[in-house]
Amino acid sequence: MTQVVIMCGSGGVGKTTMSAALALRFAEEGRRVMVITIDPARRLADALGLAELGNTPQRVPTSRGELQAMMLDAKRTFDELITRHAPNGDVRDRILANHYYRFVSERLPGVHEYMAMERLLAIVRADDVDVVVLDTPPTRHALDFLTAPDRMAGLMDEGVMRWLVLPASASGWRMIEMGSDVLAGVLKRLLGQNTIEDIADFFAGFQSLWGGFRERSVAARALLRAANTRFILVTAPAPGARAEALAFLEVLRRDAMPFAGFLVNRCAWPPAPAPAWPAAAGGDDPASWEATTRAIEATLTRHRALVATQEAAIADLLAHAPRGANAWRIPEATGEVHDLSGLRGLGMALADSGALDVLRGPA
């Protein structure tokens, strides 16, 4: 059965980078791996061979195993689902050309997260990779991502459809009040332009597809809680990162999603013991020697203080997390991580941190 690793956390902490590093590492240990990334930096996308066709998995050259990478495109994934599951060409074309469908597939809040779930489910069901690593978008609310299948299942409910296709009834407007501001704003604009017919037409066309969408959203929900699924929370070794990491953890705990551990990314490393000074370091000039020595000492002192601050932040995080929670420290790599050798370095750090043992181990 395919193992699922989901990398989540706040914006900019290194989810995409560490997803790629973990996937490459697993592949080079001899497994068949798929990584679904979200919007990687250009050079990382290049390194993964994703520069051109994002939504289609691409082979990444590895020394062993098999790595495929893709960059999720929610709109295209949705189009492909419609194309695959529509009962005939007429229904397919009607939906794909529909004004409201374009909004749903591009801008409906949560659609990106839901499509990530659809892809994840399809990969697990195909059962031709050993591990799938899912990078997640920087959601303002952790909930947006984790509850996407539930919300999509709700949207697929006949009841909701009735609300939307029968706007004249009193309850017809409730959806608009309940939805996010974006949804409400766009719907109001659509309605203002008399395109309520578009909405009705979309749901009429979609009718034959509901069952499948609903079944898959229920399955995706179960997949998030499956025995072979693990969530990693990427965070920073800074006091300010605690609140968000713990909020995320709370969501995982409440929804019974399997938490593997914190990946504390971009840590400064304790300095190695100072080597013996080479005789030439300060030259012959005693003043220059003195100044050099003092500058190095000051730097080391600041570095030790930085490491101590980080360790205090990690200890504080763990003190507020469930007893025995893992905190895997990953060092700050020198320079941008934009190629396979940079990712291999981080993969090594993942192995050294102990994270891989936990991810490999039994549930």
Ligand X SMILES: Nc1ncnc2c1ncn2[C@@H]1O[C@H](COP(=O)(O)OP(=O)(O)OP(=O)(O)O)[C@@H](O)[C@H]1O
Which chain residues interact with Mg ion by CB under 5 A?
15-16
9 vs 65, which CB is nearer to Mg ion? 9
Residue 242 CB, shortest distance to ligand X, in Å, is 17
**Do the strands 259-267 and 131-135 form a parallel or antiparallel pair, or are they unpaired?**
unpaired
d(CA 166, CA 290): 83
* Binding test (CB under 6 A) with ligand X, winner from 218, 238, 325, 333: 333
Among 6, 8, 13, 232, binds ligand X (CB under 6 A): 13
Q: Cβ closer to Mg ion: 19 or 217?
A: 19
> Judged by CB, which is closer to ligand X: 40, or 57?
40
For 160, the token pair is 């909701």
Question: Which of 16, 217 has the CB closer to Mg ion?
Answer: 16
Q: Which is nearer to Mg ion, 134 or 199 (CB)?
A: 134
133, 33 Cβ separation under 8 angstroms: yes
Q: Quick one: CA dihedral 355, 360, 362, 363, positive or negative?
A: positive
Q: Are 209 and 86 in contact (CB under 8 A)?
A: yes
Task: Kindly state the smallest distance separating residue 116's Cβ from Mg ion, in Å.
Answer: 12
State which of positions 121-160 bind ligand X (CB under 6 A).
138
Task: For the CB of residue 40, give the shortest distance to ligand X in the complex, in Å.
Answer: 7
Is the CB of 16 or the CB of 77 nearer to Mg ion? 16
Which of Mg ion, ligand X, none binds 159 (CB below 5-8 Å, type-dependent)?
Answer: none
Residue 60, contacted partner among Mg ion, ligand X, none, CB below 5-8 A by kind = none
Distance CA 24, CA 223 (A): 23
What three-state secondary structure class fits 7?
strand
CB-nearer residue toward ligand X: 19 or 68: 19
Q: Is 352 in the site for ligand X (CB under 6 A)?
A: no
β-pairing verdict for 259-267 and 327-331: parallel
For residues 233-292, which are near ligand X according to CB under 6 A? 265-266
Contact 264, 314 (CB under 8 A): yes
Which partner from the list Mg ion, ligand X, none does 266 bind, CB cut-off 5 to 8 Å by kind? ligand X
Q: Which position among 209, 236, 245, 337 is part of the footprint of ligand X (CB under 6 A)?
A: 337
Q: How far is the CB of 49 from ligand X (least distance, A)?
A: 17
Closest approach, Cβ 284 to ligand X, in A, equals 39
What are 13-16's contacts with CB under 8 Å, separation 24+? 13/234, 13/235, 13/236, 13/241, 13/265, 14/234, 14/263, 14/265, 14/266, 14/330, 15/135, 15/136, 15/138, 15/234, 16/40, 16/41, 16/44, 16/135
Nearer to ligand X, 129 or 267 (CB): 267
The CB-of-361 to Mg ion minimum distance in angstroms stands at 27
- The tokens for 165 are 């296709």
Where does residue 274 rank: exposed (0-12), middle (13-18), buried (19+ CB within 10 A)? exposed
Our finding on whether 330 is near ligand X (CB under 6 A) is yes
CB of 46 to ligand X, least distance (A): 13
Number of residues that bind ligand X (CB under 6 A): 17
Picked from ligand X, Mg ion, none, the partner binding residue 123 (CB below 5 to 8 A depending on kind) is: none
Among 2, 15, 217, 355, binds ligand X (CB under 6 A): 15
Phi/psi of residue 339, each to 5°? -140, 175
- Please tell me whether residue 307 adopts helix, strand or coil conformation: helix
Output 297 or 332, the one with its CB closest to ligand X: 332
Q: How far is the CB of 16 from Mg ion (least distance, A)?
A: 3
> Per CB under 6 A, does 14 bind ligand X?
yes
The C-alpha atoms of residue 105 and residue 110 are separated, in whole angstroms, by 10
Counting beta carbons within 10 angstroms of the beta carbon of residue 282, is it exposed (0 to 12), middle (13 to 18) or buried (19 or more)? Answer: middle
Whether the CB-CB separation of 38 and 137 falls below 8 Å is answered with yes
Backbone torsions φ then ψ of 266, nearest 5 degrees = 65, 45
Binding residues (CB under 6 A) for ligand X: these are: 11-17, 41, 138, 265-266, 330, 332-333, 336-337, 346
